[in-house]
Amino acid sequence: MTSMIPFLVMKNKINLLIGCFVLLMIAAASLTACAQANVPPVSAGRQAAITIECQADVSETEAAVIERVAGETMRFFQEAGLNTKSLIQIILVRNRQAYLSKVMARFHISEIEAARAIKGTDAVAEPGRIIINMDGVPSDRQKTFLTAHETTHQVQRNLAGNQAAAVKWLLEGMVETAGAQVVDRMDYR
């Protein structure tokens, strides 16, 4: 058993290095493309599709802001040559209680587990789905940044698969950069 430990440690380091390499390649492609125009997408075929589901008390105007931001975020990556073919459902809820209820229902977890999962957050995501508490992000600038942030996580999952969780600091750095870029693109300076 003791002789297996060095092998397992080496295997974990190799997996971490592979994950870092994949994410560095994605980040480099996105950042390089910021200075370039008309870069053709890496992959052809179906484009990203974004659907918005709203509770009755979320306005059409708020939904339009979120949809526009998610679309702009996807364009940001397409201009970088990263056509992700993502299918993203964004669910908008009005308040903290509705957010808790939706997380419980969508993830099939108890109220205690849901409360723990959303503690300190106003958005939660799983592959292909984002749930946003609209009251937690009052300004359009905040909604823009949060939506771009969560949409970028969807792009990361789509491009890197299971390797996307290998290096959290790199993932969060990339989504923070993309969020700031989209805020700038949408003229919230």
Is this prediction's pTM over 0.85?
no
For 12-69, write each residue's pLDDT tens digit.
Answer: 444 444 444 444 454 444 443 333 333 333 333 446 789 999 998 999 999 999 999 9
Distance of CA 41 to the CA centre of its chain: 19
Provide the CATH topology of domain 4-36+47-185. Answer: Collagenase (Catalytic Domain) (3.40.390)
For 104-134, write each residue's pLDDT tens digit.
Answer: 999 999 999 999 999 999 999 888 999 999 9
Domain parsing of the chain, residue ranges? 4-36+47-185
